[in-house]
Chain A
């Protein structure tokens, strides 16, 4: 090695390390990451106590990683490298051609059994009929798209087991219609939710189980393209950034519906679609406006009052249900901590449906609030 050449190599090494350090120092800190949908660590505060118990150095390391320059690009590069090395799984998300599918891990700690028993006890405590509707995720409906031999927990056999529980008036079968239409884009390719088309089939499954309603027909709707560049949760968790973005459609026009949200803890007028979300990363939240404890849609021409105990899959489902029901009430136990049974009594609810996607149902720890 000549002197000049070794100096060159030395420079490559030092400029790489030192350059990124300098970049890090001069880059203004970000408050939150849109891609990861979370707040980022800020400059840690020093105290002797935090230093001696090791919290300070830990906080510095978290801060350093969170504020690292080009964070999202590095994550994307890592996923690309993994792909080149032959990996098909990226942080528990399978890459299946142009589609990302979230792997469902076997449930742990008996949460699944507990949740089924909460639903059962809830159904007994409520005077009106209670239905259970579990929505299989893409990993089940699209399991043929998964890489050969790739594991994902068997949701279908669980659905059969769940249909057997005591106390409920019936189960809403989402599996059959979704499986029948598996060739269609019923789930987003970069997000774990179902699309408006998937929710449309889902709504008919609800109507079919709950009785006296005519089924919806596709011809009755003229879908509005709300966004053509939706990059969902699976885009973020997997780091696979090179797929074409998803399209979000609004099917049900919101004009005739009266909408109330309890987002801030008290009743406020709201809209069926909160379009400001379409300008942000989290575009799925445009349906009903994302997470909130309680939400009510009223349709003057509808019949009957339905209460949904639900997760975010119902955000895109509820507009379809509101076309037939007079009132659709949505309670999210993650945020609503009062008695749902009492709510049903006080509001003259005719039927209750506990609607969850299977991956949420087997892990959610908030269903316990149903039995209070």
Chain B
């Protein structure tokens, strides 16, 4: 069940909120666990077993690490077990077929592909539970002795299937005691509506523009202008899709009394690729920094080690996004730019005017989206070569698509800046008070219309 579906909005969500708030305070985590399991089981009922297994194993390992806290070697052994379990889970379901297909290319080796559907959100919850045992081991988080509370953390439906990746230590306090006030609920409802609108109204429109450009490419009718329009459309689609989803998750967290960390901070305003990654999918970047880059030694062990560490981290980041070579390439592409920025462009960037740095970042990032979006690397190569001059400049069809998407594109561009938020802050309080419920009602109404129409509603971050 995706958040932007009728069943979720007008079935699951109101019923869940009703059940949650009718439950006495001390039983709420149990309610949360049950409704979240229901949510998880909805899409692929059999996989609910994975959820139970994951809860049980990580809960037990957390307890074991705590029990042997004084004997570091044993504690480390149990952390290792938990990490290996989670990585095996992820590896088996997400990467088996990819590895099998590639190993089978070697002479004399044949590994069967299983074709299993990917359990929802497996990339997200395995990372969350790994962070739990590691944090307990590092003494960064208290151990959770209550399996219901722990289960509620693992399965928490707002961020279960598409993030943000919530670290246990950041919600440990909320899990124990949280207050759900009407203020936080109202703020959460506003945030949720904003996210829903971003996803349903803007991301899907950008997505269909991207599909059009991709189709033009497969009909050999792509132009330079159309190619770039496609890259921008995809970049906007993935941003509004994913950040909209994060907004909805954060908003629902607020309604329930949780405080999730922000996941995006206007990434397309960044003035360097490094900054982009500090503003894009922040929960993932910080996860890799904290649990992979720093343990590898970060940048404190000399240039050679730093280079190695950067490459490892970006290889993993790319691969995390999908079991396909283009994601590996995409990760390395960014690793390379980050290395260049760090060791080569450093002084140059300091002297460059801000607008130029923004333009440079945008181009690097959006070309990256081309690698990300097109899994078939030869198709991707052809597409990008058209963008860089290997095709006619412009066609009448481009004009048509640009005109019919002009308003949406403008909204996408403005929506990527802080303009709306700045204007909103300047609004007199009275006006904001009158406008808020009107906009909320309008947003919900229009989104419902789009969802009922149901023409085009794929969720990009579902594969991850």
Chain A contact residues, CB within 8 Å of chain B: 1, 3, 5-10, 12-14, 16-18, 20-21, 24, 51-52, 54, 57, 60-61, 64-65, 68, 71, 74-75, 77-79, 81, 84-89, 91, 106, 147-151, 239
Residue of A nearest to B183 (CB): A6
Q: Which residues of A contact B187 (CB under 8 A)?
A: 1, 6
Interchain CB contact under 8 A, A54 and B45: yes
Interchain CB contact under 8 A, A65 and B189: no
Q: How far is the CA of A224 from the CA of B446 in the complex (A)?
A: 42
Q: Which residues of A contact B13 (CB under 8 A)?
A: 17
Q: Which residues of A contact B10 (CB under 8 A)?
A: 17, 20-21, 24, 64, 68
Interchain CB contact under 8 A, A5 and B433: yes
Q: How far is the CA of A84 from the CA of B219 in the complex (A)?
A: 30
Q: Which residues of B contact A85 (CB under 8 A)?
A: 205, 407-408
Secondary structure call for the A interface = helix
Is B406 close to A, CB under 8 A? yes
Q: Which residues of A contact B18 (CB under 8 A)?
A: 18
**Least CB distance, B433 to chain A, in whole angstroms:** 7
**Least CB distance, B380 to chain A, in whole angstroms:** 23
Encode B403-426 as 1/0 by CB contact (under 8 A) with A.
111111000000000000000000
Interchain CB contact under 8 A, A17 and B14: yes
Given contacts A12-B440, A21-B10, contact A61 B5 (CB under 8 A): yes
Interchain CB contact under 8 A, B219 and A106: yes
Interchain CB contact under 8 A, B440 and A9: yes
Residue of B nearest to A63 (CB): B7
Interchain CB contact under 8 A, A64 and B6: yes
Residue of B nearest to A86 (CB): B407
CB within 8 A of B400: which of A6, A84, A149?
A149
Is B381 close to A, CB under 8 A? no
Residue of B nearest to A92 (CB): B455
Q: How far is the CA of A5 from the CA of B434 in the complex (A)?
A: 10
Q: Which residues of A contact B193 (CB under 8 A)?
A: 13
Q: Which residues of A contact B395 (CB under 8 A)?
A: 149
Interchain CB contact under 8 A, A87 and B404: yes
Q: How far is the CA of A14 from the CA of B400 in the complex (A)?
A: 41
- Top 8 closest pairs, chain A to chain B, by CB: A149-B400, A74-B452, A149-B396, A6-B186, A13-B189, A9-B186, A77-B449, A78-B453
Q: How far is the CA of A8 from the CA of B182 in the complex (A)?
A: 9
Q: How far is the CA of A65 from the CA of B449 in the complex (A)?
A: 11
Given contacts A9-B436, A10-B185, contact A74 B400 (CB under 8 A): no
Chain B contact residues, CB within 8 Å of chain A: 1, 5-7, 9-11, 13-15, 17-18, 42-46, 181-183, 185-187, 189-190, 192-193, 201, 205, 219, 395-401, 403-408, 433, 436-437, 440-441, 444-446, 448-450, 452-455
**Least CB distance, A323 to chain B, in whole angstroms:** 43
Interchain CB contact under 8 A, A148 and B408: no
**Least CB distance, B54 to chain A, in whole angstroms:** 20
Interchain CB contact under 8 A, B404 and A21: no
Q: Which residues of A contact B441 (CB under 8 A)?
A: 12, 16
Q: How far is the CA of A308 from the CA of B186 in the complex (A)?
A: 66
Residue of B nearest to A88 (CB): B404
Q: Which residues of B contact A16 (CB under 8 A)?
A: 441, 444
Q: How far is the CA of A209 from the CA of B446 in the complex (A)?
A: 53
CB within 8 A of B17: which of A3, A14, A74?
A14
Q: Which residues of B contact A106 (CB under 8 A)?
A: 219
Interchain CB contact under 8 A, B449 and A60: no
Interchain CB contact under 8 A, A75 and B440: no
Residue of B nearest to A87 (CB): B404
CB within 8 A of B190: which of A9, A21, A88, A89?
A9
Interchain CB contact under 8 A, B15 and A21: yes
Q: Which residues of A contact B182 (CB under 8 A)?
A: 3, 6-7, 10
Q: Which residues of A contact B46 (CB under 8 A)?
A: 52
Interchain CB contact under 8 A, B449 and A150: no
Q: How far is the CA of A150 from the CA of B400 in the complex (A)?
A: 6
Given contacts A13-B193, A74-B453, A149-B399, contact A54 B17 (CB under 8 A): no
Interchain CB contact under 8 A, B14 and A14: yes
Interchain CB contact under 8 A, A81 and B449: yes
CB within 8 A of A1: which of B186, B397, B400, B445?
B186
**Least CB distance, A197 to chain B, in whole angstroms:** 30
Q: How far is the CA of A147 from the CA of B402 in the complex (A)?
A: 12
Q: How far is the CA of A81 from the CA of B449 in the complex (A)?
A: 9
Kindly name the residue among B14, B396, B398 whose own CB sees the greatest number of chain A CB atoms within 10 A: B14
Q: Which residues of B contact A60 (CB under 8 A)?
A: 7
**Least CB distance, A158 to chain B, in whole angstroms:** 16
Q: How far is the CA of A71 from the CA of B10 in the complex (A)?
A: 14
**Least CB distance, B211 to chain A, in whole angstroms:** 12
Q: Which residues of B contact A147 (CB under 8 A)?
A: 400, 403-404
Interchain CB contact under 8 A, B446 and A57: no
Q: Which residues of A contact B43 (CB under 8 A)?
A: 54, 57
Q: How far is the CA of A3 from the CA of B14 in the complex (A)?
A: 22
Q: Which residues of B contact A12 (CB under 8 A)?
A: 189, 437, 440-441
**Least CB distance, B122 to chain A, in whole angstroms:** 17
8 A–B contacts, CB within 8 A, in A order = A6-B185, A14-B14, A16-B441, A21-B11, A64-B10, A89-B404, A106-B219, A149-B398
Q: How far is the CA of A16 from the CA of B6 in the complex (A)?
A: 13
CB within 8 A of B396: which of A9, A86, A148?
A148
Kindly name the residue among A14, A24, A84 whose own CB sees the greatest number of chain B CB atoms within 10 A: A14
**Least CB distance, B96 to chain A, in whole angstroms:** 21
**Least CB distance, B139 to chain A, in whole angstroms:** 38
CB within 8 A of B403: which of A51, A78, A86?
A86
Q: How far is the CA of A12 from the CA of B189 in the complex (A)?
A: 9
Kindly name the residue among A52, A60, A151, A239 whose own CB sees the greatest number of chain B CB atoms within 10 A: A151
Q: How far is the CA of A148 from the CA of B395 in the complex (A)?
A: 11
Interchain CB contact under 8 A, B440 and A78: no
Residue of A nearest to B398 (CB): A149
Interchain CB contact under 8 A, A78 and B452: yes
Given A16-B441, A148-B399, 20 more A-B residue pairs with CB atoms under 8 Å apart are A1-B183, A5-B186, A6-B181, A12-B441, A17-B9, A17-B444, A18-B14, A57-B1, A64-B11, A65-B452, A75-B449, A78-B452, A81-B446, A86-B408, A87-B405, A88-B400, A147-B400, A149-B397, A149-B403, A150-B400
Interchain CB contact under 8 A, B450 and A68: no
Q: How far is the CA of A239 from the CA of B436 in the complex (A)?
A: 29
Interchain CB contact under 8 A, B398 and A10: no
CB within 8 A of B189: which of A10, A61, A91?
A10
Q: How far is the CA of A5 from the CA of B187 in the complex (A)?
A: 11
Kindly name the residue among A5, A17, A87, A148 whose own CB sees the greatest number of chain B CB atoms within 10 A: A17
Q: How far is the CA of A151 from the CA of B399 in the complex (A)?
A: 11
**Least CB distance, A92 to chain B, in whole angstroms:** 10
Q: Which residues of B contact A9 (CB under 8 A)?
A: 186, 189-190, 436-437, 440
Given contacts A9-B436, A85-B205, contact A71 B452 (CB under 8 A): yes
Residue of B nearest to A151 (CB): B397
Given contacts A1-B186, A88-B404, A151-B397, contact A78 B11 (CB under 8 A): no
Interchain CB contact under 8 A, B6 and A65: yes
**Least CB distance, B218 to chain A, in whole angstroms:** 11
CB within 8 A of A77: which of B5, B205, B446?
B446
